Every structure is written in C-alpha cells, then in structure tokens.
Amino acid sequence: MNLKNTRTEVFEFWPSDLLKLFYQVGIPRRVPPPWHPACSYVVKGNQGTPPKINSPRSEIVYTIRTAFLGKDTIPFSAATDADAQEIFWFVNNAYLGTSSSTRSFFWIPKVPGKFVVQAVDNLGRTDSKKIRISVVE
C-alpha cells in the first residue's frame, strides 16, 4: 500500500440545525467535503443519518382562513446529516421544490385535507410526516 500520497484530515459531522447555530454565533466548523463522484449512491445513502422533519409537525392542525387559502405558507424544515447539501420536498408524492439543508422551504397549500410531507436529502435518505390542514371563515 502506497501511503506517500495519503493525508489525514479531520472533519466535523454536525447536524444542519446545530451547524446553523454555530454559524449564527460566528463559530465556523470544518464540514466534510462532498462525496467523490465515483462513490455509488448505495454507499452514500447507507451512510449517515436520514433527515428529520422539524416542521411541519404532525400533532398540529394547521388552520388557514378561507380568504388566505392559496396565499398563506407553511414552513418546511429538516435537520440533516453533515454530508447532505439539499432537501427535496414532496407532498403526497408530488415534488414541490428544493431547499438548502440549512434553509426552510415554504409551501402554499391550496386545499384543506390530510397530507403526507416527505423530505429526501441529496443522498436519498428520507423522512415523512402526516399533517392536516383545515379552513375557517
């Protein structure tokens, strides 16, 4: 084994929510580099922790006034492992959009009902939550 061109480096693997707090208070962290393109998605997806949806919450009924249906937003956010850069958001298996792992995504519900929100990180790891939206006058 040729160790001549090998070097050892230390990276910190913080969940995205804690990493965001470090940056907000001015404490930079040395995060891991992106996976090498030659690494398979099977290897990448089997490593680390899947996203954990923080918002929306399953135990809350989101209530929107009729006049604001189709205008009000519900923030989606998830804590991700340090190697995830993006989150792909879905509602009832329909793709909504993408957010950075450190930013929220805002969904505009157009109808009341029960929905399944899914967060998939760029390495294929996933989390889902059931939510309910009601409308009042």
Say if 5 falls within a structural domain: no
Q: In which band, very low, low, confident or very high, does the pLDDT at 7 lie, cut at 50, 70 and 90?
A: confident
Q: Domain residues for 100?
A: 16-136
Q: Identify the CA nearest to 105 among candidates 115, 92, 119.
A: 119
| Domain contains 71 | yes
Q: What is the pLDDT of residue 40?
A: 60
Q: What is the largest CA-CA distance in the chain?
A: 72
**How many other C-beta atoms can be found within 10 angstroms of the C-beta atom of residue 132?**
15
Residue 108 resides in a domain: yes
CATH number at residue 32: 2.60.40.10
Question: In this structure, is residue 56 part of a structural domain?
Answer: yes
pLDDT on residue 133: 95
Segment 17-41, tens digit of pLDDT: 777 788 888 888 887 777 677 766 5
Which pLDDT value is given to residue 2?
Answer: 61
Q: Which pTM value belongs to this model?
A: 0.71
pLDDT, tens digit (0-9, with 9 covering 90-100), for 35-73: 677 766 555 555 788 999 999 999 999 999 999 988 999
Residue 4 belongs to some domain of the structure:
no
Q: How many folded domains does the chain comprise?
A: 1
Report if residue 11 sits inside a domain. no
1 in any annotated domain: no
Q: Is residue 6, in this structure, part of any structural domain at all?
A: no
Task: Give the burial class of 131: count Cβ atoms within 10 A of its Cβ; 0-12 exposed, 13-18 middle, 19 or more buried.
Answer: buried
